Structure 1
Amino acid sequence: MASRFTRLTTSIPKFARGYAAPASVKAPITLFGLDGRYATALYTAAARQNTLEAVEKDLKALNLAVEKDATLRAFLENPTVNRAVKMEGINAVLGKSPSQITQNFFETLAENGRLNQTTKVIASFEELMSAHRNELPLVVTSAKALDKATLNKIVESLQKSTLSEGKKLLVSNKVKPDILGGIMVEIGDKSIDLTVSAKLAKLNKLITDSI
């Protein structure tokens, strides 16, 4: 099976079909764009071999290295760098024991000249893994950091609402002083703006329209 998978091809669907698997295996959500298609192919191949967590671990390690090293990011995104040289760089970061699927996937990216999509593909793969775990991102933006009790109350309220869709909320508190006060809630692809700055903007519009 692995020998079929390692044949470098410019066709993403062929990549995902590199391993025999039940037809029922599919991505939990539909992603669009080039990065979405590559991430979906990787997710499908890893799911078929029960190596999702191993591949995720590899990608997190690579992403961390790219985030810490601007030179590495520039190296991957530079179209003038030879693909083979880029692959050597990827191998150096992945180390000696990446998942075979991870290794083959990046060889495919290199062959297709798509290593410049690395960080986008990783981000898309994380979206798929989050959906796989039935998680939903919740970002609460406030003028100053919220205490744990306040944040918990917001989370509990949303968890009981239809907005959470019964999913596990991945909570983060973003601090943005220029909202002046109140909060902005972003849950999945939905948002609720209860900030003072938004209310002032509406008030200013009403005043302007009435003049």
Structure 2
Amino acid sequence: MNANKAAPQYTAAAKSSALDPTAKSIEALNAVFKKDAKLPLVLAAPSLTVDDKKQIVAELQKHAGQPNDVVKNFLATLAENNRLNALEGVCEKFAQLMSAHRGEVELVVTSAVPLEQKVLRQLEAAIGKSKYVEQGQKLKVVPKVNPEIRGGLVVEIGDRTIDLSVAAKMSRMNKLLQDTL
């Protein structure tokens, strides 16, 4: 799903001065996808009837809180065009557009085990003072857990990645050993 699918919704919200309410509704919809792993499968079902789609749209509108006309029209358009399965990707891309609009930079911190909030705040403060963050930008910390890195951290900010994981160090040592043999 590319950003072009979310751009019309963002533009419509901006033109109607409804960016913040639209963003809240879209965030609520995105939260529904995170809670219910089966929802994308239901939305992608080819056997959905017109009545099924209407019921799904009505239920999604309930979850969106007080959806404005932009969100209502968008959901109705997706249903009419058999594109409800694109909703999750559009919600994610819309969140990225809103993040850019707010001047936020995503700081993805991947660790082998969940990190404490104190550690995440320390990382945020340290990186916030670094050359990777321009003045006026805000960091949005996204913690992730991936046991495959075995330890250490992988920090991604913008298009840069700092890999301090044990798995990466092991890979480099293995390569060195193979090259010398």
Superposition TM-score, scaled by structure 2 size: 0.85
Range moving further from structure 2, 133-142 or 74-83? 74-83
Counterpart of 1:19 in structure 2 is none
Greater RCO structure (CA 8 Å; 6+ sep): 2
Counterpart of 2:8 in structure 1 is 41
The match for 2:44 among 68, 77, 87 is 77
The match for 1:67 among 34, 59, 82 is 34
Cα gap change, 1:193/1:104 in structure 2, threshold over 3 Å: closer, same or farther? Answer: same
Q: Which letter maps to 2:127?
A: L
Deviation at 1:71, TM superposition (A): 4.5
- Aligned to 2:141, what secondary structure does the other structure show? strand
The answer to whether 1:183 aligns with 2:153 is yes
Check conservation: 1:179, 1:197, Cα contact below 8 A.
Answer: yes
Q: Which letter maps to 1:170?
A: K
For 2:126 and 2:22, the matched residues in 1 are separated by 35
Check conservation: 1:140, 1:173, Cα contact below 8 A.
Answer: yes
- Aligned to 2:6, what secondary structure does the other structure show? helix
Alignment map for 1:1-211 (pairs within 5 Å): 33=1, 35-95=2-62, 97-166=66-135, 167-211=137-181
- Aligned to 1:164, what secondary structure does the other structure show? coil
For structure 2, the residue ranges without an aligned partner over 5 or more in a row are: none
Cα gap change, 1:142/1:69 in structure 2, threshold over 3 Å: closer, same or farther? Answer: closer
Counterpart of 1:28 in structure 2 is none
Superposition TM-score, scaled by structure 1 size: 0.74
Deviation at 1:141, TM superposition (A): 2.1
Check conservation: 2:107, 2:139, Cα contact below 8 A.
Answer: yes
Cα gap change, 1:142/1:73 in structure 2, threshold over 3 Å: closer, same or farther? Answer: closer
Bigger CA radius of gyration:
1
Sequence identity, in percent? 41
For 2:4 and 2:39, the matched residues in 1 are separated by 24
Cα gap change, 1:176/1:164 in structure 2, threshold over 3 Å: closer, same or farther? Answer: same
Range moving further from structure 2, 103-112 or 127-136? 103-112
Q: Alpha carbon RMSD of aligned pairs, Å?
A: 2.2
Counterpart of 1:22 in structure 2 is none
Size of the alignment, in residue pairs? 178
For structure 1, the residue ranges without an aligned partner over 5 or more in a row are: 1-32
